[in-house]
Structure 1
Amino acid sequence: MNKPKARIVVLISGSGSNLQAMIDCQQANALSGEIVAVISNRPAVKGLERADAAGIEALCLDHKGFADREAFDQALQAKIDEYQPDLVVLAGFMRILTPAFTEHYLGRMINIHPSLLPKHQGLNTHQRAIDAGDAQHGATVHFVTAELDGGPAIVQVAVDIEADDTPESLAKKVQYQEHYMFPIAVQWFCEGRLRLHKENKNHVSLFDGEPLPISGRLIKAR
């Protein structure tokens, strides 16, 4: 008997280019999971159109309609749980999540961040990497914990920063790699090769049962 596909809910806030990369893999039968819903906190974004075009349930839960962050997160959690997901994927979801929300999905929620974590947590990472004189920049997929961009890393891809790079050109190079690496991490989870493990007071990412280094598994840029 074939193992049921992992159920995936994707959260977005904008164009959904990383969502599209996952949809492409799913349609090519290169993903051992099924995206069962896409939820945006902003209305009328391109990512919802991408989901709808792929026949995936697409809905908006506008954060502006809630009194505070806690109320929104409670409503979002209730909506996500209707789909009984095995994995929640943050694909450009531009919200700071409450500790109660991250705890609820601990070990089954991942995010992609445009930097080589732990460097450059937060926003404006491309400009900050250039300003810091970094030789390389990149992206990291990590498990989500209550610490902003601080959960255990899963995988990283690095790109060289050239002398003539601007934040815009660097963003394009990094995003190109994101579209390659994010579905890989999702597939690892769906295959059961990836999990979050608590060791003493800290969490670590395990790949095939072995702890990953602090920067995650480095894969070669395409």
Structure 2
Amino acid sequence: MKDNESSLNMDKDTQAPIAEQTQMTVTDEAHHYAVDDNNAVDENNPDEATILDEQWQSLSQDWQSQPVEKTDIQALLKQTKRRTTWAKTCFALNILATAGLFISFFYGVIIGEFGTPWNLYLGGAGLMSLIFVYYEMKIRAKTWRQISDSPDQAIENALAGCESSMKYMSLTKWSCLPFGVLANWFVYSVGKEGDKPMLGALIFINVFIAVMFLITELIHRKRKKEFKELNAKISNL
């Protein structure tokens, strides 16, 4: 029994130093890794911050060195004023054309010398022109009230003018359809009534309408491009 107790005591005495030594080893290793990690953070963070600062300064210099497109305010004001003058002139001509169509229609009906195809064409064209002028007035009037000669609002006024022009071009393109139908009917009716060849006149009318539509479409696309560029300039201000 004494031998067994003595053996157990020796085992305990042996295990205690080993456990203590193992614990110290683990603690030392953990401390060693922690110190290494702290050193890595301390050593790497300043370098990363320095690199980021250098990259930021480089980007800032590149951005500042880029050429900035400046807007010629006076040229923009003159362009807006010129387009407004043309729009008012066109509006006045459309009013005169509408009045002329109605005067011709009433004259033809009262005198009775034009004939049914002419009277119907003049009356129908006058009515379509009246509707066209009404919507044109709604489009233009709002813009003309907004536009001024103030240099501070040069870009905003140019935007309003472009937007008004785009709406007017859309109106013109849509109006080609009913005017084309009416014109084709008129040529057909006059040719049938007088036993005259209609092919040449029909080709001329349709080519004329197609050319008008194409010109209007090109101007519409040009105004869309200008409108986009002006919006980009406002975003960069």
Structure-2-length-normalised TM-score: 0.20
Structure having the higher Rg: 2
Structure-1-length-normalised TM-score: 0.20
Between Structure 1 and Structure 2, which shows a larger proportion of strand residues?
1
